[in-house]
Amino acid sequence: METQIGQHVIQPADRMNGLPTQFFAKLVAKANAQAAKGRDVINMGQGNPDQPTPPHIVAKLQEAAANPLYHKYPPFSGYSFLKEAVAKRYKEDYGVDVDPAAEVAILFGGKTGLVEISQCLLNPGDVCLVPDPGYPDYWSGVALAGAEMSFMPLSEQNRYLPDYEAIAPDIAKRAKLMFMNYPNNPTGAVANAGFYERTVRFAEKHGIVVASDFAYGAIGFDGHKPVSFLQTPGAKEVGVEFYTLSKTYNMAGWRVGFAIGNARIVGLINLIQDHYYCSLFGGIQEAAALALTGPQQCVADLRAMYESRREALFGSLERIGWKAARPGGSFFCWLPVAPGYTSEAFADRLLQDADVVVAPGVGFGAHGEGYVRLGLLTSEARLQEAAERIGRLGLFEA
């Protein structure tokens, strides 16, 4: 791909041509085009939290913004008080001891770290194990590193967990990095302690670094608290966990995340970020520290809200004959498409004829074909209305 500007040809680097297609940019464009026609579109296709950041966190930022200390460059790897707040939260929530000085890297949102770790660890020709379906930004970091992906199918029959026994020996031997994500985007599946124990054994056997994406770690349903990878004996020897404040505290626009775990990997992430950034604005860091160490009732309330929305949606879906298992965590629902449709054709039908946006499963990988992802990111009334609109299409009648 090249661009002609006057007589001058701009030739991008090969790595730019190797980036994966941003599937969801197309989804957003389709939704915006429908809304531009004056249609009342219910958007259940994106993962943007709809609630505001809790007021006590906003107030702390407003106060901290006036502190002249934060008007200067922050420390390159961030303020120690924020790392200490991360360690405190992990100790209280998961019983995990974290050295804030050596085992925490502050990130510009979790997505940044998930891209950076591939650049830190992978060389051209190395293999990265990636869940399918899975979060597409894992692919971006692997592409930028010039490495190869080997997909781990996640099936409903195996509770959307990877089957390590099914990974070919030559692939396991070449793999240097593996991504996993529970509670899972897009399926809403959860993992238990036994799964993480198998993961650590697999990683130790093959010399693989584990990158645990724990973005939805605060959102578990039916009385079950999601398990952290770092709770597993040996986890810190083989990997790191990525956590974000985006979902737990409705701080998606604040861009605050962390890598937590293996000190060598954390050091590499800090090193690459030294060349990219000069850490987050100090006022945001102070507000983030308060989010982690202050009252946690807002987190419990948020979890309860998503669970109530889940029940409202699935009650309505059952009435129209659209049947699927309820998610065990996250704010996503994973449902099979109507008979005779691909995931993209089904999503297009819902947008055109019901003004409802859902995300086609194929956008998360080949094994996402046959499904769509719905987000619990609007009111119960709007979720129920979306189901009713879909029901009027008669796609799930027996």
Residues 106, 76: Cα–Cα separation, whole Å: 10
User: pLDDT tier at 66 (50, 70, 90 boundaries)?
Assistant: very high
Is residue 182 within 8 A of residue 190, CB to CB? The reply is: yes
Q: Is residue 187's pLDDT more than 80? A: yes
Over residues 388-395, the mean pLDDT reads: 96
The chain-wide mean pLDDT, for the chain, equals 95
Please, which residues have CB within 8 angstroms of residue 68's CB and are 6 or more apart in sequence?
Answer: none
Helices (H), 37-124: 55-64, 80-94, 110-121
The model carries a pTM of 0.94
Q: Where in the chain is the domain with CATH 3.90.1150.10?
A: 3-52+298-391
Range of weakest confidence among 23-27, 50-54, 91-95, 169-173: 23-27
H or E stretch covering 229: none
Q: Is the pLDDT of residue 334 over 80?
A: yes
Render pLDDT for 250-298 as a digit per residue (tens, 0 to 9): 999 999 999 999 999 999 999 999 999 989 999 999 999 999 999 999 9
Average pLDDT over residues 161-165: 97
Model confidence at 6, pLDDT cuts 50, 70, 90, reads: low
CATH class of 72-293: alpha beta
Question: Over the stretch 114-141, which tens digit does the pLDDT of each residue have?
Answer: 999 999 999 999 999 999 999 999 999 9
Where do the CATH 3.40.640.10 domains begin and end in the chain?
Answer: 72-293
> Residue 190 above 70 pLDDT?
yes
- Where does 3-52+298-391 sit in CATH, by number? 3.90.1150.10
